[in-house]
Amino acid sequence: MSRALALLALAGGLFSGAPVGAQVASGQVTSGSAFLSPDLARRQADPTRNPGWFWVEQGEELFSRKPAGGAACLSCHADPASTLRGAATRYPQVDRGGALLNLEGRIEQCRVERQTQPAFGHESQELLALTAYLASLSRGLPMNVAVDGPARPFYDAGKAFFERRQGQLNLSCRQCHDGLVGQKLRGDTISHGAGTGYPAYRLEWNGVGSLHRRLRACSLGVRATQFDHGGPEYLALELYLAGRAKGLPVETPAIRR
């Protein structure tokens, strides 16, 4: 009897010490924040300690700044805190021209076509800042991308990408990010690959980076082809991931390892 109790106590000890990811219900996609250490989770939630807010602040400033020979974002999008709240939850989306655009792509399109300014370029601090600012306006709102209608072929392409084995290691995204969630890989916990915190402050980068930069790191990890930032492969994958993460709240600027 006493021995059985001791075993129970031991088992209880083991489970309470298990990583957060181990409590993830199967078949249900969870946010990347669920896999953070308690200390990092506190740091993410505390604006006085989360450096990602510097990019949000910079984006807010850029949003109202009038570029030479063009109009400021603010001159069309007045009162962004209410008019653009929720906008980020609907990206990536299919544009009128039939192309799939993510939030970065939409900002660049607006900048080139309506503000008649040169594009910022992928991973530029300005584009990251504006994206982080716009995404931060939707903080707490559930992801809600359209995956039907014109978006269907892109979603299917993203799903196929997610399920296709690739690279020298011959791994598909799904094998880890569905099958091994909560387990360890190179000292980190494998997540569901929900991009709801991006652009995120990543400790490895010492700064804020886009989801596509993170996907490039994944591709490198399985020794597969790294596609371009904003390329069709990652855009389709981003749509699939956003569709998988439907209902999860936007958390930009998140902190990730």
Give the one residue of 40, 41, 45, 53 binding another protein; rule: CB under 8 A. Answer: 53
Segment lying near another protein (by CB under 8 A), choices 19-27, 54-62, 69-77, 223-231:
54-62
Segment lying near another protein (by CB under 8 A), choices 43-51, 90-98, 180-188, 219-227:
43-51
Give the one residue of 19, 51, 67, 249 binding another protein; rule: CB under 8 A. Answer: 51
Interaction between residue 41 and another protein (CB under 8 A): no
Name the residue among 212, 68, 50, 203 with its Cα closest to residue 131: 212
Helices (H), 146-231: 152-163, 173-177, 211-221
Nearest distance in Å: CB 58, another protein: 8
Interaction between residue 125 and another protein (CB under 8 A): yes
Asked whether 168 and 223 are in contact (CB, 8 A), the reply is yes
Nearest distance in Å: CB 54, another protein: 4
Cβ closest to another protein, residue 43 vs residue 122: 43
Nearest distance in Å: CB 50, another protein: 8
Name the residue among 64, 55, 202, 197 with its Cα closest to residue 129: 55
Q: Which of residues 198-237 bind another protein (CB under 8 A)?
A: 206-207
SS3 208: strand
Helices (H), the chain: 2-16, 38-45, 52-64, 73-76, 80-83, 103-109, 125-136, 152-163, 173-177, 211-221, 232-244
Cβ closest to another protein, residue 55 vs residue 155: 55
Cβ closest to another protein, residue 192 vs residue 202: 202
d(CA 183, CA 173): 14
**CA end-to-end span of the chain:** 45
d(CA 83, CA 34): 30
Nearest distance in Å: CB 73, another protein: 20
Give the one residue of 33, 58, 131, 172 binding another protein; rule: CB under 8 A. Answer: 58
Nearest distance in Å: CB 49, another protein: 6
Nearest distance in Å: CB 156, another protein: 40
Asked whether 35 and 191 are in contact (CB, 8 A), the reply is yes
Give the one residue of 19, 20, 40, 57 binding another protein; rule: CB under 8 A. Answer: 57
DSSP class of residue 200 equals E
Interaction between residue 39 and another protein (CB under 8 A): no
173 is catalytic: no
Who contacts 133 (Cβ-Cβ below 8 Å, separation ≥6)? 55, 56, 58, 59, 60, 62, 63
Residues marked active site are found at 218
Residues that bind another protein (CB under 8 A): 47-49, 51, 53-54, 57-58, 125, 206-207
